A and B are shown apart, each in its own frame.
Chain A
Amino acid sequence: MGYRLSRTDKVHAALLAVCGAVLVCAYWVAFYHSNLTLPESVLHPDKPGHDPFALVYMGFESAFPLADLLVAVAASLAAFYLIGRDAKAVLFGLIGSGALGFLALIDISFNLHHGLYALLLRDTGMQLELVINVACVAGAFWSIWRFWGHPLRRADDRAHPERAL
């Protein structure tokens, strides 16, 4: 408990709790209860009910909640341990941020391969998707970078100098 939380730590914990956990939950609640997150081409396909792309898109998106569960839980635990000034914040922070970055890159890859970013100018669902993609990648890598050099991890390094070769 000797470590004192910096202002950046407090911001980091808030970002983990709000963006990594609460907003991920909110996205999936919106996905199942509204059309807010869906692109126009899926909402209004050429052949409703039989459009192959709409079926592929919905199948792809429906595979994410279980994986996002890991992100939301790990991010919550990272925030929980960071507020408690415990070194496990680094462990859960790296797990959650790594998982978030991985899932964001898969999503971006899918959108690129299917030309979905080309719909950006006329599709509010895709505009939201782009904002989420950019925020997830930027947030995940910033969080990984920050946890990697975090004093709580350095403290563990210093506590075990025998590990050094």
Chain B
Amino acid sequence: MTTLLAYSHLFAGLGLGAFTEAGARVMRIGRYRSFAFAFLNIVITFGVVQGLLVGWVIGGRLSLVSIAPVLFMVGAVVGILVEGLNGYWWRAWSWSDKPLFGIERPIDKAAFIGVVWGFAPILTVMLARMAVVRGLEF
């Protein structure tokens, strides 16, 4: 069961990443320098970091209601770090000129999306538990 849950968190993270990146592409929020960066973002940031390490290792065995603030906290801190690394050094993706919920400056978009990353581990844990054991305490 433990191994199955760990895998389910990884795959839930990957699924969430693929869905989010596809949505961002449709909405033309930004653009990746190459497809490889989008793939790496889905696999490493969504799947391994937010899904497996944050979602499973920190929140996998605890009640979601009690651990949710910690999951959001860690997810958002990691998200802001990733957005900062990309904005200041990597340049793997860039923002389009289109306003994002009224936000116009690229630095503010990166900060906003960094905070939104906080939902990733929470959603991952929810999806993983729904996929494996419907009876687990939420």
Chain A residues proximal to chain B, CB less than 8 Å: 17, 21-22, 24-25, 28-29, 32-33, 62, 65-66, 68-69, 72-73, 76-77, 79-81, 83-84, 86, 88
Contact = CB atoms under 8 A, between A and B. Distances in A.
Interface stretch (B3-11, B18-26, B73-81, B128-136): B73-81
B114 A65 contact: no
B46 interface: no
At the interface, is chain B mostly helix, strand, loop or mixed?
A: helix
Contact of B69 (A65, A77, A83): A65
Contacts of B83: 80
A20 to B, nearest CB: 10
Given A29-B70, A73-B118, A80 B111 contact: yes
A28 B111 contact: no
A81 B84 CA distance: 9
B81 A69 contact: no
Interface in B89-138: 107-108, 110-111, 114-115, 118
B67 interface: yes
A132 B47 CA distance: 33
Interface in B43-63: 58, 62
13 contacts: A25-B74, A29-B70, A29-B74, A69-B73, A72-B76, A72-B77, A77-B80, A80-B84, A80-B110, A81-B111, A83-B88, A84-B87, A88-B108
Interface of B: 58, 62, 66-67, 69-70, 72-74, 76-77, 80-81, 83-84, 87-88, 107-108, 110-111, 114-115, 118
A96 B111 CA distance: 15
Contacts of A79: 84
Contacts of B67: 32
